[in-house]
Structure formats: structure tokens, C-alpha cells
Structure 1
Amino acid sequence: MDELVDILDEQGNPTGQSCLKSEAHRKGLWHPTIHVWLYNKDGKVLIQQRGKHKDTHPLLWDVSVAGHVASGENIPLAAVREVQEEVGLIISEADLEPIGTFKAIHKISEDFIDAELHHLFLCELKVPLTALTKQESEVDALELIPLFRFAEETWGLANTAKYVPHGPTYYKTIVKEIKSRI
């Protein structure tokens, strides 16, 4: 879906401008997104396999829930909305634990540069995997895996090609933050 997104400067500050997401991607303009990592007290993390028709990184494994922040939308509310849309889980803003932001640029092609400021959240998953409903157009599969295995695969160099290339610093941050909560 092509929606309006707010444009940011390189430091992540709003510029007061907005444009369609497709234009932001075509021009490599910075814009805000949310990443919500769902984990449980058993030491497992929810990962999603991106849909096969996604413009970026189809069929790679990624964050539990990710999405764009619509123009003028409150960032935590965008996270709540995306969690419900992508995995069918109803949460509130109070369930979200903000853990920072992460700047990322993925050059997909000459006319597709994804320049995003990811707002990172953790959220405890209190229901079984079977209670989740994946959004067919966005998500190919969901898997709940041990945090240790996730750490090995994302920055322990065991299987990094399986995942969206967010980089070791990003993944180490996620693992450290989840580990401190279980």
C-alpha cells in the first residue's frame, strides 16, 4: 500500500514535508518506521518470514513486526496498529517497551533506496504462536525460536543469509535487550 510518510533529515528530525512512500523510496528520503520484537518469558523470539511479493528482502526472515509510520501518525500507535495488522495480536501502547532508534539504508536498486529510521520496541508475547494470525499479503510464515539460536544465526555467523541484513550491531542490541528481560 502506498501511503503518505513524513520526511526526516539525516539526524531523524521532521522536515515538515511528506510524500508517498514510493517516492521516498525512489528518492532515498529518510522516513520513520517501527520494529516490534515479540518475545516470551521462555526465552524465545518471534521472527517472521517476509512475503514472497515484498519489494524488499522477499522471503528473508525479519523482525516480528515492521511497518511504516503514516504521515502525522503517533509512533507508538503505529506500532500497535502494525502488530494487529501483521500478526493479529491486540496490544496497547503500555505493552511496548521502547529501546531506541536505528538508522538504516538499503539500496535495493538505482531507483529504490530505503532510508529509514527504525523506532525499536520490545513487547512480551503472552499468547501461544497458534493464537497469531499472519497477514497473508505481508507475512509468509511466523516462527518462535530460542533467543540463543536467533543470536547464533544473526550475528554468530551461523546463518546470516537467512535474515534481512540489518547488521550485527542491530541484532546484538535486540538480543541483549530481550535477554535482560527474560
Structure 2
Amino acid sequence: MDEQVDILDKNGEPTGESCLKSEAHRKGLLHPTVHIWFYTPEGRVLIQQRGKNKATHPLLWDVSVAGHVAAGEKIVTAASREVEEEIGLTISEIDLESLGTFKAVHKISEDFIDAELHHIYLCQLSVPLNQLTIQESEVEDLALVPLFKFAEETWGLASMGKYVPHGPTYYKTIIKAIKSRT
């Protein structure tokens, strides 16, 4: 879906301008997104396999839930909305624990530069995996993996072709934050 997104300056501050997401990607304009990482008290991480028709990284494993923040939308509202859309789970904004932001710029092609400021949240998964409902246009599959296996595959970058390449610093931040809560 090609929604309006707010444009941010190089410091992540709103410029007061917005445009279609496709234009932001075409021009490499920085815009806000949300990443929500679900984990269990037993130390498992919910990962999502991206849909086969996604423009970037189809069928790779990624963050539990992710999406763009619509123009004028509050960040936590976008996070709650994306969780409900992608995995069918209703959560409250107070369920989200902010880990801060992470700026990522990836040149996908000459006319597609993904420049995003990820607002990262943790959320404890309070329902069994089989109670989640995937949004088939966005998500191919969901899996719960032990944190140690996830760390081995992302932190050490042992499975580079399996996961979206967010980079070791990003993954280390997520792994350490989940580990300290389980």
C-alpha cells in the first residue's frame, strides 16, 4: 500500500513535509518506521518470514512485526496498528517497551533507496503461536526460535542468506535487550 509518510531530516526530526511512501523510497528520503520484537518469558523470539511479493527481501526472516508510520500518526499508534494488521494480535500501547531508534539506509536499486528511522519496541508475547493470524499479503510465516539460536544466526551472521541484513549492531541490541528480560 502506498500511504503518505512524514519526511525526517538527517537528525530524525520531522521536516513538516510528507509524501507517498513510493516517492520517499525513490528519492531516498528518511521516514519513520516501527519494529516490534516479541519474545517469551522462556527466551524465545518471534520472527516473521517476509511475504514472497515484498519489494525488499522477500522470504527472508525478519523482525516479528514491522511497518511504516503513516503521515501524522503517533509512533506507538503505528506500532499497535501494525501488530494487529500483521499478526492479528491486539495490544495496548503500554505493552510496548521502547528501545529507541536505529537509522538504516539501504540502496536497493538506482530508484529505490530505503532510508528509514526504525522506532524499536519489545513486547512480551502472551499468546501461543497458533493463536496468531498472519496478514498473507505481508507475512509468509511466523516462527518462535530460541534466543541462543537467533543470536547465533544473526549476531555472528552465520545465516546471512536467511535474515534481512540489518547488521550486527542492530541484532546485538535486540538480543541483549531480550536476554536481559528472560
TM-score by length of 1: 0.99
- 2:50 paired residue number: 50
- 1:25 paired residue number: 25
1:122-141 equivalences under 5 Å are: 122-141=122-141
Take 2:157 and 2:71, find their aligned partners in 1: how far apart are those partners?
A: 37
Unaligned runs of 5+ in 2: none
SS at 1:160's partner residue? coil
Among all aligned residue pairs of Structure 1 and Structure 2, give the percentage whose two residues are the same amino acid: 75
Unaligned runs of 5+ in 1: none
Take 2:142 and 2:157, find their aligned partners in 1: how far apart are those partners?
A: 22
Per-residue deviation, 1:159: 1.0
Take 2:127 and 2:42, find their aligned partners in 1: how far apart are those partners?
A: 12
SS at 2:154's partner residue? helix
Take 1:168 and 1:156, find their aligned partners in 2: how far apart are those partners?
A: 7
Take 2:122 and 2:82, find their aligned partners in 1: how far apart are those partners?
A: 13
Letter in 2 for 1:122: L
Letter in 1 for 2:45: V
- 2:9 paired residue number: 9
Letter in 1 for 2:112: F
- 1:147 paired residue number: 147
1:113-124 equivalences under 5 Å are: 113-124=113-124
1:32-181 equivalences under 5 Å are: 32-181=32-181
Take 2:158 and 2:72, find their aligned partners in 1: how far apart are those partners?
A: 40
TM-score by length of 2: 0.99
Letter in 2 for 1:127: V
Per-residue deviation, 1:157: 2.9
Computed over aligned residues only, the root mean square deviation of the Cα atoms, in angstroms, reads 0.5
Take 2:18 and 2:158, find their aligned partners in 1: how far apart are those partners?
A: 40
Per-residue deviation, 1:92: 0.3
Take 2:113 and 2:157, find their aligned partners in 1: how far apart are those partners?
A: 26
Over residues 89-121 of structure 1, what are the superposed CA-to-partner deviations in whole Å (9 max), with x where a residue is unaligned? 110000000001000011110000000000000
Take 1:2 and 1:157, find their aligned partners in 2: how far apart are those partners?
A: 32
Take 2:110 and 2:91, find their aligned partners in 1: how far apart are those partners?
A: 38
Over residues 27-73 of structure 1, what are the superposed CA-to-partner deviations in whole Å (9 max), with x where a residue is unaligned? 00000000000000010000000000000110100000000000000
Number of matched residues? 182
